[in-house]
Structure 1
Amino acid sequence: MFLIPLPSLLLSGLLSLQLTSAFPSSFNSPEPVLARQVESCNTASNRACWTDGFDINTDYEVDTPITGIVRNYTLTLTEEDNWTGPDGVVKEKVMLVNGDIHGPTIYAQWGDTITVRVINNLETNGTSVHWHGIRQFGSNLQDGVNGITECPLPPGSERTYTYIARQYGTSWYHSHFSAQYGNGVVGAIHIDGPASLPYDIDLGPFILSDYYHKTADELVIYTETNGAPASDNVLFNGTTVDPDTSAGEYAKITLTPGKRHRLRLINTSVENHFQVSIVDHSMTIISSDFVPVNSFTTDSIFIGVGQRYDVTIDASQDVANYWFNVTYGGGGLCGSSNNPYPAAIVQYDGAPDGNPTDEGTAPIDHMCLDTMDISPVVSRTVPTAFTASSGNTMDVHLDLTAPTFVWYINNSSEKVDWDKPVAQYVAENETSFPSDLNTWTVDEEDQWVYWLIENDPNALFSLPHPIHLHGHDFVVLGRSPDTSPITQTTYTFDASLLSGSNPVRRDVTMLPAAGWLVLAFKTDNPGAWLMHCHIAWHVAGGLSVTFLERLSDYRAGMNQTDIDVLDSQCTDWNNYFPSQDPYPQLDSGI
């Protein structure tokens, strides 16, 4: 692990499968392979193939191999007091999914139908579960965002989400009830499909997450009047070592000598962005978020909150143990941890147990910016004749003058109404919405719409933000020049920096500190879609908007069954909150 100093204070801001341990320290066996429709396709020598008529070059936004296969899961949410965590520290309270700190992985194949029964056995909290990055094409009410697509699910209740895996790759699910996912309501999604590079072994998801000994609820309140605290530790697939007591154990990734392995990296943090690297090994990126990309080899990768990278790793070194390192760049503005050397172990099969001896060298500083050096396999050409205006420009601003910190976009801060979500207004044929919902109406049909996001251009100090869009992958047409956020160099929008020739496409990207970002998406998926910063403290403070995409088509697409489920869940919630809930809504609610 790298012996480099880290700042102590960060200035930026559940399933029926049974696991053998809440802390899977050994990560050494391939993931389960689901039954294939065409057994001769998608082999170690040719991962680009998938099934008849579908391969790596198929545009999944246009065509999906609907299999008719249903993958059923059950997610049970519970709470536990005085819980001993993976680093040996007792936490006052934690939320678990099927008894584990990370819910079990949802496995499916491209084109399968996924159904997830969610049972809320929490003591007082409502919940909703969002399927991060899942496009929900034509299924907006399955998006799992309380206050937007549903009312929260009250304690003692359950519901079932159903959606089609129209994309493939790696993602995660998490609660969208305030910062609840920071208490443990989180898990991985693994959808098998073609890949842009051959590999021998799929090691499956590897979850990276900041970890705090206080509850996320306490931290939200703290950050309303303070800078964000350093994380107490970093978890690697649910386990870690305490830097002071050495309690716990390092997660292990086992490689088979001479083989190429696929590893699915996910950052499920509430606040920390990570730079990851493996001593004496490079990684080859084959997917960013849910988008297959042409293979790109690098020595280190920046992974912002909510982002995913599928990589291949060649086991071509000596049979030994090697550090898998997490570091922080950007002068502390990408996050920090009280564990100065967060790490896991890459162990070659046949190597003796023990910690690696070579600490390696620190990677380049990625400056809190995701790479722009990747190109999607399925190419897009997007017009860039974009003119900034008040109708397509979003200025991000932090108000430090109020009693608590509040985040604004164009002087409006989003705070949802748990009692009546946006979808219910739409179902009732409303055409105007409360200002607190911060809705932006997008009426164009099947057109590219463009958004310039400016990061506090008049502020004395600004922070990088991971911007996540529901319901779509966006294209990143351009951003301000790459500089370290610690310099606070201010940039104004420059249209000459835009490029629409097969731009980066994903569902989370970084808004540079003191800079700007231009995103575009095609209006082909009517619904109410949240776009927000994925730092939990920032979205809790209101840093989000809701796009109302093709409102009339959205309403027309709601069938009576959808509306009945929506209304029934809202009735259950309104019977519970606030009369039976001892805790008021203190933040944005999402």
Structure 2
Amino acid sequence: MKFVVFCLFVITNICDDGKASVDNFAPTNDANVLTEFTKNSDSCHRPCKFNVKPQRCYYTFDVEPNLDDGTTLAINGLTPGPTIHACVHDIIVVQVRNKIPDQDLAIHWHGVEQRGTPYMDGVSMITQCPISYGSTFKYAFKASTSGTFFYHADSVAHQSDGVYGALIIDQPRHLEPHSSIYDFDKSEDHTLVIGARFPELLSASLEDLTKIAPRSLIINKEESDTKLFVTQTSGYRIRLVNAIALECPVLVSIGDHLVTVIASDGKPVQPVTTGVVRLYPGERMDVAVRADQPSAGYWLQVKGEEACDGLKARSMFLYSGFNYTSMLEDIPNEMTYDKNSIVCGQQLLSSKDVTSKSVVKSVYLGIEKNNIAVKDNELDFRYLSDVVPKKPFFPTALSLKEAVVQINGRNFLYPNAPLLLKPHDVFRDIVCNVGEESKHKDVQCMQVLTADVNGALELILVNEGFHSNDSYTFHMHGFSMHVVASWQSPAGLPLSREEFEKLDKDGLIVRNLQNPPIKDTISVPNKGFTIVRFNPGHGGNWMLECRSCSLTLPAAIVISVPISLPKAVVNSLPSCGSYKPADVLLN
């Protein structure tokens, strides 16, 4: 009977070309259907060929405390977790088992657009119910586009504790736009995932997490022992991933070598050659480097900035035949660079011109770190109910007396029921429309921006900087964005909405509508702005979030694009039972 239901679901999701679309692949409880994949996931790491039948790539992740290191969480005993390899159009199936005592979990696939599978995006109480301790959740989605991606826990604390790993989606070599620049793409050895280690488990700490600073940087799982082997005169593609959840940009360079940036966030760019690149949290960058120096060993160095200022990591860039033992006692010289030569992803140009729609809906998002005026007797730690008189609710996090980052003067509140799956169960009084947040009396509300399918959006993110000198990194779920403008006040002056609108009206803000970089992770400079455009071409509820801002109260919005999910799909997914997020229980 279940197999019949699945067949009916496929029939009701017919593509325009009259064939069942893999984009509409849905999970099912029918073991016969869901387990028709390759049992050995290693076989999915293969040379990708044209016109070859896609495979189903199966992985099992057990997420649990690392018994060998009490300060990390591990996936199958590894921190970072196993690298997922697939070819474009493969189906990736990952069964996640939560073995973290008394904690809930979800896994986000950073950069994967989830076309047709919005319920696989991995955001607790937005696209799914959280995976409770001892439970499993089976993610299944199509590898729809090639590029360098990664996965991580939806929780910033869990990600910081080590729940993350690389996700590489390849395509046939002749389809790679810059394959002529390099000779080898050894993603199994030349993918560098940059993380941070902390002195304790953030997810188990009762302390103020904003006070716990990272103690070191790591490349893959090492501070200094990762090795990249190369052959003289050959060119190599190296994939860089900044998997740090905090506001920790990193600088990367290879001693005596230049690198050519060929992709940012999985999207090809016009090649730019430099000595140093900067990656913001969640950003990925593919570079090509030619082994054109004397045969020896060189240090690839990573230097942290902002929250990771002063922290460093390094790996060995080794020519074939060189005995690297002499480097073990060698401390590399301090990374030297010209600040004006640093290449950042959102300053690049797309490798192809883009088409921009003439009618665009512009939305202003004012970002500011605010001190919330609240007295101790106004903080309410009780579980509230309908019989308790309503009054403005101040979250307990405000008892820390710390300023919080807000969007349009509010913090995000996660709903009481999964917004995508059970929209009618969500309490309506917690919802506030983006641009109308001032109508909501509480500090937190579920900020929703409603968009039309293929209705072009322009998001104007202004980091006003009246109360802070911090820059912030934002990640868009579900879509890639065209970064059409970015600017920071050269005089270091705050930027109000009125001042921005005057600059825009006077024609002083120039938008690149021809070949802007296409990204899912962007930086918004302090006392400046970043403007992005995109067409929401597929339905779902998609987060735009500042992950590094969310150690106290979340700074995010949900972009809601109309979608109607078949009842069979919703029913096949795990239910939340009596689960409610803590802030909802207290609100």
TM interval, short-chain normalised: 0.7 to 0.9
Superposed CA deviations along residues 55-77 of structure 1, whole A, max 9, x for unmatched, are xxxxxxxxxx9x44211111111
Aligned residue for 2:417?
420
Aligned residue for 1:320?
296
Aligned residue for 2:283?
307
Give distance in 2, aligned partners of 1:513 and 1:123.
Answer: 39
Asked if the contact 2:239/2:285 (under 8 Å) is kept, the reply is yes
Match of 1:514 among 524, 527, 533: 527
Superposed CA deviations along residues 110-146 of structure 1, whole A, max 9, x for unmatched, are 1111111111122111111110000001211000110
Give the superposition deviation at 1:209.
1.2
Structure 2 unaligned blocks of 5 or more: 1-38, 373-397, 433-443
Give distance in 2, aligned partners of 1:175 and 1:151.
Answer: 14
Asked if the contact 2:369/2:468 (under 8 Å) is kept, the reply is no
* TM-score, with structure 1 as normaliser: 0.76
Aligned residue for 2:76?
98
Match of 2:176 among 195, 198, 206: 195
Give distance in 1, aligned partners of 2:449 and 2:278.
Answer: 33
Distance 1:361 1:146, change over 3 A: closer
Superposed CA deviations along residues 558-586 of structure 1, whole A, max 9, x for unmatched, are 112321134x3312xx3xx57xxxxx847
Q: Which amino acid aligns with 2:399?
A: P
Aligned residue for 1:382?
356
Aligned residue for 2:494?
490
Q: Which moved more, 1:149-158 or 1:196-205?
A: 196-205
Superposed CA deviations along residues 139-165 of structure 1, whole A, max 9, x for unmatched, are 110001102101111111112111111
Distance 1:124 1:369, change over 3 A: farther
Q: Which amino acid aligns with 2:452?
A: E
SS of match in other structure, 1:316: coil
> Is structure 2 residue 540 aligned with structure 1 residue 527?
yes
> Is structure 2 residue 239 aligned with structure 1 residue 264?
yes
Higher relative CO (Cα under 8 Å, sequence separation at least 6) belongs to 1
Give the superposition deviation at 1:322.
0.8
> Is structure 2 residue 502 aligned with structure 1 residue 504?
no
Aligned residue for 2:108?
130
Asked if the contact 2:483/2:516 (under 8 Å) is kept, the reply is yes
Bigger radius of gyration: 2
Asked if the contact 2:455/2:536 (under 8 Å) is kept, the reply is yes
Asked if the contact 1:292/1:377 (under 8 Å) is kept, the reply is yes
Asked if the contact 2:410/2:445 (under 8 Å) is kept, the reply is no
Aligned residue for 1:143?
121
Asked if the contact 1:541/1:587 (under 8 Å) is kept, the reply is no
Distance 1:211 1:429, change over 3 A: closer
> Is structure 2 residue 236 aligned with structure 1 residue 281?
no
Give the superposition deviation at 1:336.
1.5
Give distance in 1, aligned partners of 2:314 and 2:585.
Answer: 34
Q: How many residues align?
A: 490
Give the superposition deviation at 1:220.
8.7
Runs of 4+ in 1 over 4 A off after TM superposition: 16-19, 218-221, 366-369, 383-388, 427-433, 586-589
Distance 1:18 1:425, change over 3 A: closer
Give distance in 1, aligned partners of 2:412 and 2:296.
Answer: 51
Aligned residue for 2:389?
none
SS of match in other structure, 1:34: coil
Superposed CA deviations along residues 426-476 of structure 1, whole A, max 9, x for unmatched, are 26699876354523232323121111111134x232311111100000111
Aligned residue for 1:45?
none
CA RMSD of aligned residues (A): 3.1
Aligned residue for 2:474?
467
Asked if the contact 2:419/2:426 (under 8 Å) is kept, the reply is no
Q: Which amino acid aligns with 1:490?
A: P
Q: Which amino acid aligns with 1:452?
A: I
Match of 2:159 among 171, 177, 181: 181
Give distance in 2, aligned partners of 1:75 and 1:202.
Answer: 26
Q: Which amino acid aligns with 1:286?
A: I
> Is structure 2 residue 576 aligned with structure 1 residue 570?
yes
Match of 1:117 among 87, 91, 95: 95
Distance 1:358 1:428, change over 3 A: closer
* TM-score, with structure 2 as normaliser: 0.76
Q: Which amino acid aligns with 1:208?
A: I
Aligned residue for 1:237?
220
> Is structure 2 residue 464 aligned with structure 1 residue 456?
yes
Q: Which has the higher helix share?
A: 2
Distance 1:559 1:539, change over 3 A: farther
Give distance in 2, aligned partners of 1:105 and 1:516.
Answer: 35
Match of 2:308 among 331, 335, 338: 335
